[in-house]
Structure 1
Amino acid sequence: MRRLLNTLYVTLPDVYLACDGENVLIKVNDEIKFRVPVHNLEGIVCFGFAGASPRLMHLCCERGVAISFLSQYGKFMGRITGNVSGNVLLRRTQYRWSDDEIVTTRLSRRFIAAKIMNSRAVLHRVLRDHTEVVDNEALERALQLLARMPAKLEMAHHGDSIRGIEGEAAHLYFSNFNQLVLNQKEAFRMLGRNRRPPTDRVNALLSFLYTLLTHEVVAALESVGLDPQVGFLHRDRPGRPSLALDVMEELRPHFVDRLAVTLINRNQITAKGFVVKENGAVIMDDDTRKEVLTAWQKRKQEEITHPYLEEKIPLGLVPYVQAMLLARHMRGDLEDYPPFFWK
């Protein structure tokens, strides 16, 4: 089992990444602000326009530590990795399967069925725990409709139908998302799911966290030898990690949505931590981003019992487990792919 290591998130402005022997250095104006052994890292994520020395990039590539560069808004700009050591036969199977409509339809059903049921579990939890302050009728209706959708998925015979059902489920889920917010309700009112750019605080928070999850899933897929770019539900597009987006679907509600709601309801983040730009885009300030990143790292350390393995593992290992299960299915070791269902 892969050891759960740390991701180093670099958010300070005017930062330069360097190395000293086997140590990664964070420098500001030639002054060392932080030092960490490279063997303690699984990845480095830089927000803004941090520079990095060629020597550091070489060290990270040798040690299998990916360096990702994101804009201050959380938009992915690029990624540096070492040699790909994936099994060529596994990747050939992946490419063949991506062109097979029967296979892509079957796997797409798995990803979206898990997403829908995990979304339903999030809504069911708030209804169970806070029945006195939520709209019981609206939530119960949403739960009933979501419960019927996996059966509709089994009747879908191509990707467009599955994407249509996923869109219907997402609209229903996010239409009730404001009920999950129990504190700071006016400041964190969601105006429907929107992005590129997000135009309210909840969407800004969700988009940022989804970006972090994307980084985790891409790394997980590469670690088992799969190509993150070639998916089944999300079709090929230059620069799009389609397979990572496929696997992310089942993880979004439990990994991201619950964390976002917790941060708001516990007042760990407030409206003051968000900035509205001239074009209407809403972004987090530096202090709020650090608070979210700290919570994300703590979230990854929480232990759960994996529903398929029936073993206790840190939540941060779930993307790696799902990537491993998908690879085992492609190699013929598993009859079908078991998606992640949160119980």
Structure 2
Amino acid sequence: MTELLNTLYVQTPGASLHLDGDTVRVALPEGGPRRTLPLLRLESIVVMGNIQVSSQLLSRCADDGRPIVWMSLGGRYRGRLDGPVRGNVLLRHAQHLTHTDRAARLEIARACVAGKVQNSRQVILKGARDVTGQRKNDLRTLAVDLEASLTAASAAPDIDTLLGVEGAAARAYFEALAILVRADTGLVFPGRVRRPPTDPVNALLSFLYGMVRSMVQGACEQVGLDPYVGFLHGIRPGKPALALDMMEEFRPVIADRLALTLVNRRQIGPRHFEKLEGGAVQLTEEGRKEVLTQWQLHRQKEHNHRVLGRRIPLPLLPSVQARLMARRLRGDLPGYLPWTV
């Protein structure tokens, strides 16, 4: 039995975190109320924006292996403290060798794309059950397009071709997401826009993608994998290629489905966003609070895992997949098996 611990999210500007015995004390600015939480019950700490963390708390969390993650107010991942590097160096060596093996790299990259496309297709099919008329027909057509992308991905002869298949599938998928956003929500999705997002729905997606990336990169590091040596995404300084590879299969179900739910149920609306200089849009403090509350509730759900043959709590899914990736790299499995709904 695995006990799921909590994640502490702190986003109030000017707040500070301190070590107080075996607890973390959160002090809010301007003499606001203080709150203490037992470290034993915290799996990780995520700070967003201008938050101060004491050196004593940093040292304690590093000793305990309790990650502290820094993110921007828009959800962009900035960094992570996780103590000493863990894992067998032989695993990382095997990962590097696999990256240089063209056939092995292509096989793993195909699996990552297949997981993403399959889960994207399921989000579309699920959404199509709740609409009628032309919207339903359009969604079914796009689902067929993604089914064709699955076939094309399995036959892609090289990484460049595979990236082309993945890009075409992503365009079809985001076209479907635009259809799935209800017209009466006051929000419109114009297609994926990032760096920076310039509309509320894209700002929400970017924020949630940042949360997913944090989960996946943390899982890779905990298993002992090098998050910067991937297979689908090319190696580039500062780019966590493996984390980006492995988060692809999670984004449709974990992030996109939650975003659609929040928007279509009007839990998140135009009032939860603000426009910055330069045209970027981000969630307000109230908006981030609502999204984080719903994110924590979303994390409590369990999902079927076909390989393990049982239901797995959502926060553990990236760790399970990172371990499956490690087994593939060690040669214990014939291939990497993405998680699909």
Normalised to the residue count of structure 2, the TM-score between the two structures is 0.96
Identity of aligned residues (%): 44
Amino acid corresponding to residue 33 of structure 1 in structure 2 = R
Cα distance in 2 for partners of 1:218, 1:153 equals: 25
Aligned position for 1:177: 177
Amino acid corresponding to residue 120 of structure 2 in structure 1 = S
Amino acid corresponding to residue 60 of structure 1 in structure 2 = C
Amino acid corresponding to residue 214 of structure 1 in structure 2 = R
Q: Deviations 1:86-127 (Å, cap 9, x if unpaired)?
A: 111111101111122111111110010111111111111111
**Total equivalences in the alignment:** 340
Aligned position for 2:160: 160
Aligned position for 2:279: 280
Q: Post-superposition shift, 1:69?
A: 1.4
Is 1:17 paired with 2:17? yes
Aligned position for 1:333: 332
**Residues 237 and 2 from structure 1, CA distance in 2 versus in 1: closer, same or farther, beyond 3 angstroms?**
farther
Cα distance in 2 for partners of 1:90, 1:296 equals: 32
Aligned position for 1:95: 96
Contact 1:38 1:63 in 2 (8 A): no
Residues 109-148 of structure 1: matches in 2 within 5 Å?
Answer: 109-132=110-133, 135-148=135-148
Cα distance in 2 for partners of 1:153, 1:33 equals: 53
Contact 1:184 1:264 in 2 (8 A): no
Amino acid corresponding to residue 43 of structure 2 in structure 1 = E
Aligned position for 1:84: 85
Is 1:255 paired with 2:254? yes
> Matched residue of 1:65: which SS?
coil
Q: Post-superposition shift, 1:46?
A: 0.8
**Residues 254 and 3 from structure 1, CA distance in 2 versus in 1: closer, same or farther, beyond 3 angstroms?**
same
Aligned position for 2:36: 35
Is 1:299 paired with 2:298? yes
Cα distance in 1 for partners of 2:274, 2:98 equals: 44
Cα distance in 2 for partners of 1:13, 1:301 equals: 27
Contact 1:15 1:28 in 2 (8 A): yes
Contact 1:39 1:63 in 2 (8 A): no
> Matched residue of 1:116: which SS?
helix
Aligned position for 2:65: 64
Amino acid corresponding to residue 58 of structure 2 in structure 1 = M
Contact 1:113 1:153 in 2 (8 A): yes
Amino acid corresponding to residue 162 of structure 1 in structure 2 = L
Amino acid corresponding to residue 105 of structure 1 in structure 2 = L
- Structure 1's consecutive aligned runs of 4 or more residues displaced over 4 angstroms after TM superposition are 29-32
Of 198-207 and 269-278, deviating more is 269-278
RMSD value over aligned CA atoms?
Answer: 1.5
Normalised to the residue count of structure 1, the TM-score between the two structures is 0.95
Contact 2:129 2:136 in 1 (8 A): no
